[in-house]
Structure 1
Amino acid sequence: MTVLTGVDDARLFDGVDLHTLASRVQTPLYAYSSSVIRQRTTALQDAFAGLDLRICYAVKANSNLAILQLVAQQGVGADIVSVGELHRSLRAGIPAERIVFSGVGKTAEEIRAALSAGIWRFNVESADELLLLQEVAREEGVCARAAVRVNPDVDAQTHAKISTGKAENKFGVSIDEARTWFVRASRMSHVQLDGLHAHIGSQILNLEPFRHALRRVEDFRQELEAAGHPIHSVDIGGGLGVRYRAGHDRPIAIEDYAALVRETFAAFKGTLVVEPGRWLVAEAGVLVTRVIRVKPGADREFLIVDAAMNDLLRPALYDAWHDIVPLRPRRESACYDVVGPVCETGDTFARGRDMPRCEAGDLLMIGGTGAYGASMASTYNSRPLAAEVLLDDGRYAVVRRRQTLAEMMLGEQLPQDWHEA
């Protein structure tokens, strides 16, 4: 699902000329296509039509308020992992009753805030958290609805740093441990444990890991029901992969994934929950960067651009591939290491990449950056956060302006009031 069509139109993204955009908004900048996000959301809703399904967007993928408002307008809820994401989601118009709270480190203060907001349910990841949820809910005089996150011990066949469903990962609990929770929860006065949750990892390009994990969850659900523990919701997480490398990555067709879910949970009469993040927004975003200079090296050329690892961390963190497309392509080709200005060897977007020859001042588009791009950005090397721009069929709106140097240092101060401790 791409909106870049051929050499003559390579500068257009969702009908917006990226050269014009870059002349008005300083690079580096993120640009997001509203059209692609709507198309993805509609495709997901159509694939699961007829099921009792809730889509809860994984806010961590891209937490910009404009993106959250856009998915809210499509009837999508939120999967959050912090009180900050809770406040963002509510401010963007996502109803509290369509919010699920995941994550291994929820604090009492975060649980209290979520209960006060009236979120739909908590995905609980440890016995300690379950007891804390009971305690805080009792203090608040409410009953918290919860699901246990089970770890099905399935290899997602993805990068080790985004695998979450194996026994050695920090997420969830074993099915054996979860079994004891339902006995314990039946005696809890302020927690209604009536759901299951599983998420085995991200950027999964093969149906088999899903097949194994979902089968284990459904078998466990049936066991619980037979033992007198009714299950009203099953959250199957997210993890669907996207196309980062053209001609190489082959994402799972959403229709095939939906067919697997329908088949696996055919006997389940409750609510199914999916938590897409990357799949909804990754291919809807690009990072536009400008070439600062071409630097000859001993055995390669370095294409130095004004974006850096603080703007897009994935290549440095995961050795992740992103397609890089010059917006003024030339006939002759060259081989580059595409690097940023940050003082780290890891500040590298591509190594030995064959692409059209570039010159200082040229614009490049780094694709597939709508997820885990701006949301993972930092001000390392005292580099201000990049602007974010929402595009929509030939129009654009700045939805986060580029951070100023003064804003970057806001909250810092020289020592004035010293205190003994």
Structure 2
Amino acid sequence: MTSTTPVSETDSLRTPSSTRFTETIRRAVADGLLSEEQPVAGFLDADGVRDSVAALHDAFAAVPGVRVLHTFAAKAASLVPVLRLLADCGMGCEVASPGELRLAVEAGFAPAKIVLDSPAKTRDELRLALYLGVAVNADSFSELRRIGELRSTGSASVIGLRINPQVGGGSIGAMSTATPTSKFGVALGDPGVRKQVVEAFAERPWLTRLHAHVGSQGCPLELIAEGIAETYRLAEEINESVGTQQITGIDIGGGLPVNFDDDDVRPSFTDYVAALRAEVPGLFDGRYALVTEFGRSLLAKNGFIGARVEYTKDAGGRRIALTHAGAQIATRTVFMPDAWPLRVGAFDAEGRPRTGPPMVQDVAGPCCFAGDVVAHARELPELREGDFVVLYDTGAYYFSTHWAYNSLPRPAVYGFVDDPGGGGVRFAPVRDAQSLDSVAAESGLGHAAALVGLSAGATHEKQ
């Protein structure tokens, strides 16, 4: 989808998620998508995703002459229907595992619009990527040598080298990938490494791209821009050293942080482009093709999780609402609540906004450990058994990246669009709820007797 509306206007006209999802929640309850039988589900606004993609494209299109391949980081929503929607919007796909590569191919992305990252690619994974013509970013000098051994003359794969600009970390250490000791990329500031990078390009005319990714949530725009500027300076240095423009593209990663505090979309893609233009204007002069790898910033505010309140109880003077949304789908929030806080909405048994005086309450999940709490001491209208809670801004990672603790099944996921002329809200299944048969099969049911029969005597007899 291509938008002709300037991104600043697009952002300002978008209805806040906590308002625009109200009717969706009511309809989901009315249609049985949230119920006693299906007590938790994820929901994704398809039109909202299209708007976010349009905002990204518009922000870069505002710079004349810039060439960009926008890829979506598959890890942010590893669901084939979501990936196919993004492909239909003109996106490429960034993948970081054999599984994600398979999903990207199944979703219909052309190999030329797929980029393979990850710090531990196997030879088989590299062979497949090179066979398909997928772009590959080597994460180390060792991997670069391996690619050289496997790559055939005339391969369609664009090959890049990921560097770590070592510009520092943001407020969430686990999400910062440009720290001095990060596991990602070639540590550019270490003694002698910059010279090694220049030599690596001089020895490999087929090596034509540089890649850097500073981090994501918790990394301010200034830090991201600083890392990209360092990558640009390195590209200029390499091209000058080899005497030609061997590096023709720069993969600038993604990492635009998401505002989880309220409905506002900030920073915007326009803010991101403005920060880059201020820090490194030469990046946009048309000499380098750019690649982006955004994920969370495209989907987070376009999705939510709905969960039924199974019970309420009081403990130590605190009301606790026990729901079916816990660490299995909000893992980061449960284990790092200060870094990954979520806004919570309270709805009654009919899916209507719950009203009444605020009460301090915890919203807890179903996992069997004490820390499984998604919201601590929140002031909400009193929640009751059979009500529903909504976790906002969870369109990326949360319901698509399930943790199988307690063998809890993966929840169903639905896409939706507002359809005022045809009934209000239309839903479409994205992923079915996982069955208990599937849970049992994944736990090794087909090998149930394997360990019972594994004994010294049984092994000897077989020999």
Taking structure 1 as the reference length, the TM-score comes to 0.92
Identity score, percent: 28
Match status 1:130 vs 2:150: no
**Alpha carbons of structure 1 residues 95 and 339: separation in structure 2 relative to 1, 3 Å:** same
Per-residue Cα deviation, 1:366-402 (whole angstroms, up to 9, x for no partner): 0111111123212211111100111122211111110
1:406 corresponds to which of 437, 440, 461: 437
User: After superposition, where does 1:182-331 map in structure 2 within 5 Å?
Assistant: 182-188=198-204, 192-204=206-218, 206-228=220-242, 230-246=246-262, 251-263=266-278, 264=280, 265-267=283-285, 269-319=287-337, 320-327=340-347, 328-331=353-356
For 2:33 and 2:395, the matched residues in 1 are separated by 21
Unaligned runs of 5+ in 2: 1-13, 348-352, 419-424
Partner of 1:415: 449
CA distance in 1, matches of 2:320, 2:215: 34
Residue 38 (structure 1) aligns with: 50
Say whether residues 1:98 and 2:109 are aligned partners: no
TM-aligned CA deviation for residue 5 of structure 1: 5.8
1:87 matched residue in structure 2: 102
Write the distance in 1 (CA, Å) between the matches of 2:259 and 2:200.
Answer: 44
Amino acid corresponding to residue 154 of structure 1 in structure 2: V
Q: Return the letter of the residue paired with 2:395.
A: G
Q: Structure 2: how far apart are the matches of 1:124 and 1:345?
A: 42
Equivalent position of 1:386 in the other structure: 411
Write the mapping of 1:116-195 to structure 2, written as runs, cut at 5 A: 116-119=131-134, 121-138=135-152, 142=155, 144-175=157-188, 177-188=193-204, 192-195=206-209
| Cα pair 2:259 2:267 within 8 Å, conserved | no
The 2-side partners of 1:294 and 1:322 are apart by 20
1:299-329 CA deviation, whole Å, 9 max, x = no partner? Answer: 3121110122112212123322010101231
1:352 Cα deviation after fit: 1.0
* Contact kept? 1:58, 1:78, Cα under 8 Å: yes
Return the offset for 1:353.
1.1
User: 2: CA distance between counterparts of 1:251 and 1:269?
Assistant: 30
1:135 Cα deviation (Å)?
1.6
Distance 2:143 2:21 in 1: 50
Map Cα deviations across residues 270-305 of structure 1 (whole Å, 9 max, x no partner). Answer: 211111000011111101001111110013121110
Change (3 A) 1:102 1:21: farther
Matched-pair contact (CA < 8 Å) for 1:285–1:370: yes
Quick one: which amino acid aligns to residue 208 of structure 2?
A: D
Matched residue of 1:234: which SS? Answer: strand
> How many aligned positions are there?
413
Greater Rg, structure 1 or structure 2?
A: 2
Match of 2:390 among 351, 365, 370: 365
In terms of mean alpha carbon deviation, does 159-168 or 254-263 score higher?
Answer: 254-263
The aligned counterpart of 1:374 is: 399
Letter in 2 for 1:11: T
Q: Distance in 2 between matches of 1:22 and 1:323?
A: 24
Match of 1:17 among 23, 27, 40: 27
Q: Aligned pair in 2 of structure 1 residues 93, 144: CA closer, same or farther (>3 Å)? A: closer
**Alpha-carbon distance in structure 1 between the residues aligned to 2:377 and 2:323:** 15
Cα RMSD over matched residues?
2.3
